[in-house]
Amino acid sequence: MGRMDGKVAIVTGGARGVGAADVQRLAEEGAAVAIADVLETEGRALEAELRQAGHEVRYFPLDVTREEDWAALVAAVLDWKGRITTLVNNAGIVNRTGITGTPLDRWNRVIGVNLTGVFLGLKHACPAIRDAGGGAVLNMASVASHVGHNDPAYAASKAGVLGLTRTAAAEYVDWNIRVNAICPGVIVTGLNAGGAHLEPWRRATPLGRFGTLEEVARLVLFLCSDEAGYITGEDIAIDGGFLAAGSARRISLEAGIDLTAAE
């Protein structure tokens, strides 16, 4: 028995990185998974690889910022499997310029993908999830949802995702849909590989390493599965202790305080 048997999931940005790991984990646990992404070549390659391994996955084109794409995706997935139970709003982009140096069109693009894309996903997929008797939505936020970041458009969009998550949880409880978010620290992917901030970030992380795709996918799986049936409107950090203990850890290290020293 798989933990997602009978479920039909959409994973946006599912062609690579964190999204691809989520697709694989959900499919391994028995879900039929729609890989929804602008990257057709990568999406079709992942589809072929996972089908070869015996999983039920299919690539669908989707630009999360286009409402007509969402309507077409939901119709196509219903045509494919007859129901939708699960939505992982994972697609995301970064910008990495300060407020003064950010052109308005780039600000709008980041907000469009990272925040408006989540709004459109909820708007279009949740009626179908209701029709399936309920299910779960997982929104990919970030540690940047909670603390300042060197990418203002990204931080603002990811903070907005938490507001949307809590609001959607209240709205969709009547449809038996749970809505949660997770806040990863650094997972090295195409989004950030080669970034100058990576090594300092690793040092600022109490566990002293980056997270892995598998670790994130396991949390996504849990929150999407019925095992998380009493969790909604929540956001969970998966960040090696960065948010909760990073400052205390750095201060102790800089001050030369050995927290584990015997009395």
Let me know: does 91 contact 138? Beta carbons within 8 Å: no
Tell me the closest approach of the beta carbon of residue 8 to ligand NAD, in angstroms: 19
Q: Is 190 in the site for ligand NAD (CB under 6 A)?
A: yes
Nearer to ligand NAD, 147 or 173 (CB): 147
CA dist 62 and 37 (Å) reads 5
DSSP string, 160-182: HHHHHHHHHHHHHGGGTEEEEEE
Q: Which of 85, 90, 116, 165 binds ligand NAD (CB under 6 A)?
A: 90
Q: Is 187 in the site for ligand NAD (CB under 6 A)?
A: yes
Tell me the closest approach of the beta carbon of residue 5 to ligand NAD, in angstroms: 26
Alpha-helical segments (H) within 90-184:
104-111, 117-131, 152-172
Q: Which of 7, 8, 16, 136 binds ligand NAD (CB under 6 A)?
A: 16
Q: Which of 191, 198, 231, 245 binds ligand NAD (CB under 6 A)?
A: 191
Scanning the structure block, which residue is given the tokens 């890989």?
35
Q: Is 121 in the site for ligand NAD (CB under 6 A)?
A: no
Q: Is 22 in the site for ligand NAD (CB under 6 A)?
A: no
Active site residue 172: no
Q: Which residues of 239-256 are buried (b: 16+ CB within 10 A; e: fewer)?
A: bbbbbeebeebeeeeeee
Stretch that binds ligand NAD, among 60-68, 95-103, 119-127, 249-257 (CB under 6 A): 60-68
Put residue 30 in one of left, alpha, beta given phi > 0 → left and psi -120 to 50 → alpha: left
Q: Which of 220, 237, 236 is nearest to 138 (CA)?
A: 220
Tell me the closest approach of the beta carbon of residue 27 to ligand NAD, in angstroms: 16
Residue 15 burial by CB count (10 A; 0-12/13-18/19+): exposed, middle or buried?
buried
Q: Which of 8, 91, 155, 220 binds ligand NAD (CB under 6 A)?
A: 91
* Opening angle at CA 136, ends 131 and 139, nearest 5: 125
Q: Is 63 in the site for ligand NAD (CB under 6 A)?
A: yes
Residues classed as catalytic: 154
Chain residues binding ligand NAD by CB under 6 A are: 12-13, 15-19, 37-39, 62-65, 90-93, 113, 140, 142, 184, 186-187, 189-192
